[in-house]
Amino acid sequence: MHRYKFVFYRPLQLLPVLFGISVITFILVRMIPGDPARVLLGTRATPTAIARIREQYGLDEPLWRQYFYFLENLAHGEMGKSTLYKIDVLKLVMTRIEPTLMLVLVSVILSILIAVPLSTIAARRQGRIADHAVRIVSTMGIGFPPFWLALMLIIFFSVRLDLFPVSGYGRDPLDKLWHLALPSLTIALSLSAVLTRSLRGAMVQALQSDVATAARARGMPEGIVFWRHVLPNSLVPTINLLAINIGWLIGGTVVVESVFAIPGMGQLLIRAIFSRDYMVVQGVAMVFACATVLINFMADVITVTLDPRIKL
């Protein structure tokens, strides 16, 4: 049972990570030239109006004090107030978490649904045409720029065939899935390409492993050998790869959310950066950081469960 000890102390590591992220985003976002008050008021603002807004949001205070206020708010479970939307950042962020979470979730599931069969086919027919085809397709999948891929999918599936909505995010769960089909396909096409290459390699190795050979020698049919020994053993590196890619995936949602007009965190972040809405940028960065740490933690738990040899 001591192999799972990390489950208890790992969450503690979240604290220094979050502290680091908060300092870095706090400084970075303020280092970009530009002034939230001016963005808010537009080019027609008078200097007095700008000074008044800066004072209202505490932007005229020294940086260290602004950071102190930020921490103080955080201790009270608050993230400050958005200059653009004039409401609490936490409230704003909460309304935007679900679409992004759903997008990431559906994309990952779709990627696995694509990657597992493809790599199985490729690994079991190693060196043959099917194998080469899968490898070529997955290389192409990595190469396509997501915004271009997204537009092509919209033009083909939504405008030409009228199968899926062009953009937006639905109301009830099924409607949401329907709206997320093309956005998650956009992400899945590149993500599954990465996964397929890794999974195929791991499978090829596992197929030739001593365990598999021994099983075959005991007269176990190839299909059962695959399900019982090859697949579980090749999943471990792929799950870790997936976890590492989550950061990239979250970055990808920023582009995909904008193209498909999904009202998620990515879109919120972009508009916040352009408006120099400091508090919102900080809030979104914190949530993204938490998510990344949490997902890697979950990947570790799964890894330890799948492979009894691994200790963390």
Partner 1 sequence: MLKKWMKIGMVTVMTSLSIGASIAEAAGVLTIGRREDSSTFDPIKTAQNIDFWVFANVYDVLIRVDKSGTKLEPGLAESWEVSDDGLTYTFTMRDAKFSDGSAITAEDAAFSLLRIRDDEGSLWSDSYSVIDTAEATDPKTLVIKLKGPSAPFLSTLAMPGASIISKAGMESLGAETYAESPIASGAFTVKEWRRGDRVILEKNPNFWQADRVSLDGVEWISIPDDNTRMLDVQAGQIDAAIFVPFSRVEELQKDENLEVHLDTSTREDHLLINHEHGELGKKEVREALDYAIDKKAVVDTVTFGLGEIANSYIPKGALYHKDDNLERPYDPEKAKQLLADAGVENLTLDYLVNAGNEVDEQIAVLLQQQLQQAGITVNLQKMDPSQTWDMLVDGDYDLSVMYWTNDILDPDQKTTFVLGHDANMNYMTRYKNDEVKALVAEARLEMDPAKREQMYMDIQTMAKDDVHWIDLYYSPYINVSRKNIEGFYQNPLGRFFLEDTVKNEAE
Q: Which of residues 42-81 bind partner 1 (CB under 8 A)?
A: 42-49, 52-53, 56
Query: Please, what is the minimum distance in Å from the beta carbon of residue 200 to partner 1?
Result: 16
Cβ of residue 225: shortest distance to partner 1, in angstroms? Answer: 15
**99 to 118: interface string for partner 1, x by CB under 8 A:** --------------x---x-
SS3 247: helix
C-alpha to C-alpha distance for 141 and 147, rounded to whole angstroms: 13
Task: Work out which of 35, 61, 78, 98 binds partner 1, going by CB under 8 A.
Answer: 35
CB 150 within 8 A of CB 181: no
Tokens standing for 93?
């962020």
Number of residues that bind partner 1 (CB under 8 A): 60
> Considering the complex, what minimum distance in angstroms separates the CB of residue 30 from partner 1?
13
DSSP state of 229: I
Nearest CA among 263, 96, 260, 266 for reference residue 165: 260
Q: Which is nearer to partner 1, 95 or 139 (by Cβ)?
A: 95
137 is a site residue for partner 1 (CB under 8 A): no
DSSP letter at 230?
I
Rounded to a whole number of angstroms, the minimum distance from the CB of residue 127 to partner 1 is: 20
Cα separation, 239 vs 37, in Å, equals 45
310 binds partner 1 (CB under 8 A): no
* Helix, strand or coil, per DSSP, at residue 173: helix
CB of 48 vs partner 1, minimal distance in Å: 7
CA distance 52 to 49: 5
**SS3 state at 128:** coil
Among 214, 274, 307, 310, binds partner 1 (CB under 8 A): 274
> Quick one: angle between helices 231-260 and 265-274, nearest 10?
50
Residues that bind partner 1 (CB under 8 A): 32-35, 38-49, 52-53, 56, 84-87, 92, 95-96, 113, 117, 120, 151, 154-155, 158-159, 162-169, 174-175, 177-178, 181, 258-261, 263-264, 267-268, 270-271, 274-276
